[in-house]
Amino acid sequence: MLKTTLLHPEILRLCARAGHHSKILIADGNYPASSKRGPNSDLICLQLTPGVPTVAQVLRAILSAVVIDEVNTMGIDAGDPYAKFGEPAVWQEFRTLTKEAGIAAPISPIPKWEFYKAVESPDHVLTIQTADQALWSNVLLTVGCRTA
Q: Where are the domains of the chain?
A: 21-143
For the 21-143 domain, the top CATH level (class) is alpha beta
pLDDT tens digit sequence for 46-104: 999 999 999 999 999 999 999 999 999 999 988 888 888 889 999 999 999 999 999 98
Sheet of strand 124-129, all strands in order from the earlier edge strand to the far edge: 42-45, 124-129, 23-27, 139-143, 68-75, 107-111
Burial of 121 (0-12, 13-18, 19+ CB in 10 A): middle
pLDDT tens digit sequence for 3-39: 899 999 999 999 999 999 999 999 999 999 999 999 9
